[in-house]
Amino acid sequence: MKLLKKKHKPLHINDITIVDDDKLKKAITAAALGNAMEWFDFGVYGFLAITLGKIFFPGANPSIQIIASLATFAVPFLVRPLGGIFFGILGDKYGRQKILSITIVIMSISTFAIGLIPGYNSIGILAPIFLLICKLAQGFSVGGEYSGAAIFVAEYAPDRKRGFLGSWLDFGSIAGFVLGAGVVVILSSIIGNDNLVSWGWRIPFFLALPLGFVGIYLRHQLEETPAFQKHIDTMESDSKKELQQPPKLSVKEVATKYSKSFMTCIGLVLAMNITYYVLLTYMPNYLSGRLGYSEDHGLLIIIAIMVGMLFVQPFIGLTSDKIGRRPFIFAGSIGLLLLSYPAFWLIQSNTIGLIFVGLLILTVSLNCFVGVTASILPALFPTNVRYSALAISFNVSIIIAGFTPAFVAWLVSATNNSYMPAFYLMLVSLIGLATACTMPETANKPLRGATPTASDKEEAKEILSQHFETIEQKVEEIDETIAELEKKRQSLIDQHPKLD
């Protein structure tokens, strides 16, 4: 309870954290590379779904092979909340840097191991079982990866640049996806489809190991985030003893104690990731399996779209620091609601230019979500439980999002309606709109429960000055309210004979 007294002390220039520019660049690079590692696997797995279906589920018909392959992609999302709780508790206890070093090790090894699994024709049912085990290990580690990386960037970033710097986290995601997809396309064109099915599919998974080594090295060189370190330094001795015990935070406690933040996180994650998986994981199979395009043809179109996303991503993050995050959530949601059906009409046109335009429409909506989500989510929870609460909230909702490719593939197969993905995205847009209406604006504000963070001394002075101006304005508003209440009070007293 004594810690609360600090909140009532006047904010001093020394209370504002000034971030070292070199450390900030290293933090962004290391966090983004881990995300790239995660999405490299998603890109490879999504773009090889048809091939992997033939290898691990050879007895099924082509439609069932795709659904089974995508379902294997989705099942690990069931264990992500467990990984989120596990790594979240450790991250709030031991710090962000140590846990992020562990998650990238598990991701690298489990992705590499997929490339070692013999096919179904060699070991039978053990093949898909081993594949599932590797995917479960990935899911467990990823449960703490994205949340931890987003927190790491947010706690390092100055308040006025958090949107721009946070956007580079998902820049890494998209870059990893492009790299994974590019490797598949180049490999397929060099060795041919027969060799790809025979042995070439293993190569992209083997590449995860050297990428992981680079990520481990970069993360090992990092220092703890300023916000978490400040949280530790300011705790009194009794509180430090309590810190050695893992915070007892369950899904129920997050959903009740931080209910508004919990629902905001779920809404954002569903809107962003369902759109993400429809466009970047399911769409290659939709183009080839449903519309009859060659696999390479569909992959090249998606890769071109994703390269465009890379250039738009930082711009959206930068702009959100100027006008706020909420406008982009509104824009992305409205785009999905009004333009998903026309986009899929264009995609089914059999004309390359129109297909590209249709995918571009969906991409712009996706970019609106992706460009700001990494800077919004960490600001929803206080420092002492930020990792645990965000990891739990994020991964509870990711369970639903993770089944998107398999579910949409089943919808299209069951209804024989090629517009089902569009209808699904239109439904998701309503979640995005509801979230945008209720979420708090976090742009240019300190993280919840933290003191402000600045890029340099001059910016710190500006922040302090604005802070005092805000307090003065609020005091004036309170004084005006009090004066109005006094008038009303006196008016009522004047109407009563016994009150004076």
Residue ranges making up the domain that contains 465:
456-500
- In this structure, the answer to whether residues 387 and 253 fall within a common structural domain is yes
Side chain identity, residue 485: L
Domain match, 446 and 468 both: no
The pLDDT, as a whole number, for residue 1 is: 39
Q: What is the CATH number of the domain that holds 87?
A: 1.20.1250.20
Q: Are 280 and 306 in contact (CB under 8 A)?
A: yes
- Say whether both 462 and 450 belong to one domain: no
Place of tokens 């890494």: 172
DSSP element (H, E) containing 132: helix 126-156
> Based on the domain organization, do 307 and 215 belong to the same domain?
yes
Same domain, 358 and 483: no
Nearest 5°: CA angle at 309, between 305 and 313? 175
Residue 268, pLDDT score: 94
Say if 5 falls within a structural domain. Answer: no
On whether both 20 and 143 belong to a single domain, the answer is yes
CA distance 398 to 403: 9
Q: Which of 316, 284, 259 is nearest to 438 (CA)?
A: 259
166 shares a domain with 53: yes
- Provide the number of structural domains found in the chain: 2
Residue 139 and residue 85 share a domain: yes
Residues 350 and 472 in one domain: no
Q: Is residue 7 part of a domain?
A: no
Residue 9 domain-assigned (yes or no) = no
Query: Is residue 4 assigned to a domain?
Result: no
- Is the four-CA dihedral 207, 210, 213, 218 of positive or negative sign? negative
Residue 40 in any domain: the answer is yes
Show the tokens assigned to 92: 């709030």
Q: Is residue 10 classed exposed, middle or buried when 0-12, 13-18 and 19+ CB atoms within 10 A define those classes?
A: exposed
Residue 1 is assigned to a structural domain of this protein: no
> What is the mean pLDDT of each successive set of 10 residues along the chain, which is 500 residues long?
50 72 81 78 74 77 66 73 84 83 86 88 85 86 84 87 89 84 84 84 88 80 76 58 55 82 92 87 77 68 80 91 94 96 90 86 92 92 86 84 83 88 94 94 84 78 76 84 88 78
Report the predicted TM-score, pTM, of the whole model to 2 decimal places.
0.79
In this prediction, residue 170 carries a pLDDT of 83
Residue 241: predicted pLDDT: 52
Do 76 and 137 have their domain in common? yes
What's the CA angle centered on 392, arms 139 and 428, to 5 degrees?
80
Shared domain check, 479 and 351: no
Does a structural domain hold residue 213?
A: yes
Model pLDDT, residue 86: 87
Whether 347 and 359 have beta carbons less than 8 Å apart is answered as: yes
What Rg, from alpha-carbon coordinates, does the chain have? 25
- The whole-number pLDDT of residue 239 equals 52
> Is 395 found in the same domain as 489?
no
Within a domain: residue 6? no
| Residue the block writes with tokens 């809404």 | 267
